Amino acid sequence: MCTVCGCGDLVTADGKVMSHDEAHRLGLAHSHAHAFRPDATPLPFPHVHAAGGGHGTDHHHYGTGAAGVSVPGLSQARLIEVETSILAKNDAIATANRRVLNALGVLALNLVSSPGSGKTTLLCKTIEALAGAPLAVIEGDQQTSADADRIRATGARAIQINTGKGCHLDAQMVGHAIDDLRPRPGSYLFIENVGNLVCPAAFDLGEDAKVAILSVTEGEDKPLKYPDMFTAARLAVLNKLDLAPHCDADLDAYAANLRRVNPGIEIIALSARTGAGMDVWLDWLRARLAEKAA
């Protein structure tokens, strides 16, 4: 028996029966049952040595991998270190979006909230108040172009993205929308995400900041229930301030809970409907745009 591989000692090579060691010494192609590891039992199927293959350092040995066989085009079982973020593709596109927007000095804000917080009303009033400042809007919804229609009615340019089954906008959708919108240098780009306080938190779109919009009718504990979104946001807009007395909203509790999940978050309370507090929001926008231009 071969002391190296443990296979039977007689093989057929070059049409002759000879010892396995002799076949290797003569450099003849031969086949025999073979163990793929020194400590393993011989494999039940024949093992082929290439001509010239030996058990020395120049040994051309097939079938030594975990699979035990050699199949052209297939590799042996092995471990591939990947260490890649699952969202790597989205993040790469988001980085590209950000590069384009930075080059243009465009302030891109990703507006996130639950459905019904008043995002679109806030946007319409904001567009009116910014009075002619260059801006564009990307509207994300599962279905309908209702929101983009409302934005366009103000005279602003808007692209509606319907995500279909999707629960969030991703960087590729926004990248295509930016290509079509061609935002003007030094303009605002408002991205109204799908109304959803969970999924959009994880998807970078290339924006400068996420702005979470929360209405006073939603409950003071909402930031605690959906901490990821409020952690990811730079600013929280507390909307529908005019309704606060009617639903016993505790504005201090809203602020405390927002700061509990994100100690650094900025908070602006306003009513898009009555206009109360809108000047603070508009000043915030102008300051962020000025930072981009600097």
Partner 1 sequence: MHEMSLAEGIRTIVQDQARAHGFARVTVLRLEIGRFAGVEKSALAFAFDVTMRGSPAEGARLEMIDLPGRALCYDCMKTVEIDDRLAPCPDCGGGKLIPEGGDEMRIKDMEVL
Residue ranges binding partner 1 (CB under 8 A) = 67, 73-90, 166-168, 170, 198-199, 201-203, 224, 227-228, 231, 259-264
CB of 77 to partner 1, least distance (A): 5
For 219, how many CA atoms within 13 A lie in the half-sphere containing its CB? 7
For partner 1, the closer of residues 261 and 289 by Cβ is: 261
CB of 33 to partner 1, least distance (A): 22
Containing 41, the helix (H) or strand (E) segment is none
For 113, how many CA atoms within 13 A lie in the half-sphere containing its CB? 25
CB of 120 to partner 1, least distance (A): 23
For partner 1, the closer of residues 12 and 75 by Cβ is: 75
Q: Sheet containing 30-33: which strands, arranged edge to edge?
A: 16-19, 10-13, 30-33, 46-49
Distance CA 78, CA 125 (A): 59
CB of 41 to partner 1, least distance (A): 22
Distance CA 60, CA 230 (A): 60
Question: Max alpha carbon distance in the chain (Å)?
Answer: 101
Distance CA 26, CA 170 (A): 64
For partner 1, the closer of residues 150 and 259 by Cβ is: 259
CB of 90 to partner 1, least distance (A): 7
For partner 1, the closer of residues 17 and 82 by Cβ is: 82
For partner 1, the closer of residues 151 and 161 by Cβ is: 161
